[in-house]
Amino acid sequence: MEIDVSEILSLPELEEHARRCMSHMAYEFVASGAADEISLRWNREAYDRIPLRPLVLRDVATIDTRVSLFGREHPFPILLAPVAFQRAIHLEGEIATARGAGAANATWIVSTATTTPLEDIARVATAPLWFQLYLQPDRAYTRDLVHHAEAVGCEALCLTVDTPVLGARNRQTRAKFALGPGVTTPHLEPIGKERAIMNPVRVVPTWKDVDWLRSIARVPLALKGILTGEDAERGLEAGAQGIIVSNHGARNLDTAPATLDVLPEIAERVAGRAPVLVDGGIRRGTDILKAIAFGASAVLIGRPYCYGLSIYGAAGVQRVVEILRQELEMAMMLTGRPAIADIDRSVLLLTSGPAHAE
C-alpha cells in the first residue's frame, strides 16, 4: 500500500517501500548492481564503518551548506546523478525529475540515454542542469549533441569514462528490462533504421577523445567514473575541470572499490585544482559529511531519487533531496561543524592515521 510522500522519513525506508510498490522490472533495473553485487555492498559499508568525532558547544545555531562548483553557488552539496531511461521508471520520466529537482533547487545531470528530449526537459527545469555524455560513434553527431546540450542551458558536461562496456547486469537481464512501446532515446545516435536502442554504450572512449571533447566544449568538463589518483591526474592534464569519483553505482565492474575508500587518494592528488565529486551508496546526511571530510566538494545520488520518482513522481524526487539536506544540516550541527569549510578529517574517527583534535 502506498503511503503519503510526507510520511517517508528516510531514504532506506523509501527504498524498502519502492521494493514493494514498483514493478519487478523497474525495481530490478534501478536497484541492481553488477555480477555478485559486492561493490554495491562495499559502497554502503564504507560509510557505515567510520565513526564520527562530534565537537560540542560550538555555535551551530546557523548552518551554512553552500558550495561553489564551476563558478556557481549551490545551496547544498547534493546533485542528482545521471540515470538513463526514466520513462521506464515513471510515466512522465525526466519531466517529473526536472520538476522535482527544480522544486528542491537541486542540480540534475541529465543522461545521454534520456527518454525525453533535452529541450523539453530544459523547458520545465527551474534548477541548473548538467549533461552526462556517452560518446556516440560519429564525432559530428557527438559534437552537435554537446552543443545542443549547451544551447538548452546545460552548465557542465560529465563524460562517463567507466563504461567501455556495460557490466554483467544479471538481475536486470533476468528481469527482461526493456523500454515500453513509444518510449525512445532521442539523443542516442540512430544506427541504420534503428531509433530506440537500449544500449547507450557504443563506442570505447580513450584519452584522445577527452582532448577532442575539451577542444569543442564551451562549458566545464568533468570526468565521471575515476577511481585512481593517476587517472585523476591524467584527466586534469587532458583539461578536465572536474573529477567525479564513481563506480557507476556498482553496475559495471564488480569488486571495484567502494568510492569512499578511493576518495582520499584522489582528493589528495587533485589537491584543490578542481572540484572532486563522489557518488555510490550515499543514503544519509552523515554519509555526505564523511565524503566531504575526505575531500569531496559535493555528492551525487542516483537510486534514491529514482525510487522517489517511481512512486511519487516530482514530489518524490523533491522529498528525497529535502530529507538528505535536512539530515546533512543535522549532522553538521551534531558534530559542531557549522559550515562546509569546517568539515575536515577531524570529524572522522579514523583508526589509522591521526585525528586532529583541536
Ligand X SMILES: Cc1cc2nc3c(=O)[nH]c(=O)nc-3n(C[C@H](O)[C@H](O)[C@H](O)COP(=O)(O)O)c2cc1C
Positions marked catalytic: 248
Angle between helices 24-31 and 303-312 (to 10 degrees): 160
Give the pairing of strands 298-301 and 67-69: unpaired
Q: What's the start-to-end Cα distance of the chain, in Å?
A: 50
Of residues 333-352, which lie at the interface with ligand X (CB under 6 A)?
none
Kindly tell me which of 180 and 272 has the beta carbon lying closer to ligand X: 180
- Rank residues 108 and 337 by Cβ distance to ligand X and give the closer one: 108
Q: Is 14 among the residues that bind ligand X (CB under 6 A)? A: no
Sign of CA dihedral 216, 221, 225, 230: positive
Following DSSP, what letter does each residue of 222-281 receive, concatenated? EEEEE-SHHHHHHHHHTT-SEEEE--GGGTSSTTPPPHHHHHHHHHHHHTTSS-EEEESS
Query: Stretches 4-12, 20-28, 54-62, 274-282: which one binds ligand X (CB under 6 A)?
Result: 274-282
Nearer to ligand X, 249 or 308 (CB): 249
Q: Residue number with the shortest CB distance to ligand X? A: 302
244 vs 267, beta carbon nearer ligand X: 244
- DSSP-derived secondary structure for 71-130: TEEESSSEEEPP-S-GGGTSTTHHHHHHHHHHHHT--EEE-TT-SS-HHHHHHH--S-EE
Q: How many residues bind ligand X (CB under 6 A)?
A: 25
- 279 interacts with ligand X by CB under 6 A: yes
Pairing of strands 67-69, 72-74: antiparallel
Q: Binding segment for ligand X among 18-26, 70-78, 277-285, 338-346 (CB under 6 A)?
A: 277-285
Residue nearer to ligand X on the CB measure, 30 or 152 = 30
The nearest distance, CB 140 to ligand X, in angstroms, is 22
The secondary structure of the chain in percent helix, strand, coil, rounded to multiples of 5, reads 45, 15, 45
280 binds ligand X (CB under 6 A): yes
User: Should residue 290 be labelled a site residue for ligand X when binding is judged by CB under 6 A?
Assistant: no
Judged by CB under 6 A, the residue of 93, 167, 249, 275 near ligand X is: 249
Q: Mask: binding to ligand X, 208-247, rule CB under 6 A, as x and -?
A: ----------------x---------------------x-
Question: Site map for ligand X, 104-123, x if CB under 6 A?
Answer: -------x-x----------
Taking CB under 6 A as the rule, does residue 321 contact ligand X?
no
Asked if 265 touches ligand X (CB under 6 A), the answer is no
Number of neighbouring beta carbons within 10 Å of residue 68: 13
Contact characters 130-169, ligand X, x per CB under 6 A: --x---------------------------x---------
Q: Which of 158, 156, 133, 155 lies closest to 145 in space, CA to CA?
A: 133
Contact range with ligand X by CB under 6 A, out of 97-105, 178-186, 273-281, 317-325: 273-281
Neighbours of 292 (CB within 10 A): 28
Closest by CA to 239, choosing from 265, 218, 268, is 218
Which helix (H) or strand (E) segment holds residue 300: the answer is strand 298-301
Q: Minimum Å distance from CB 244 to ligand X?
A: 8
CA 240, distance to chain mean position in Å, is: 18
By the rule CB under 6 A, 316 interacts with ligand X: no
Q: What is the largest CA-CA distance in the chain?
A: 66
Contact footprint for ligand X (CB under 6 A): 29-30, 43, 81-84, 111, 113, 132, 160, 200, 224, 246, 248-249, 251, 279-282, 301-303, 306
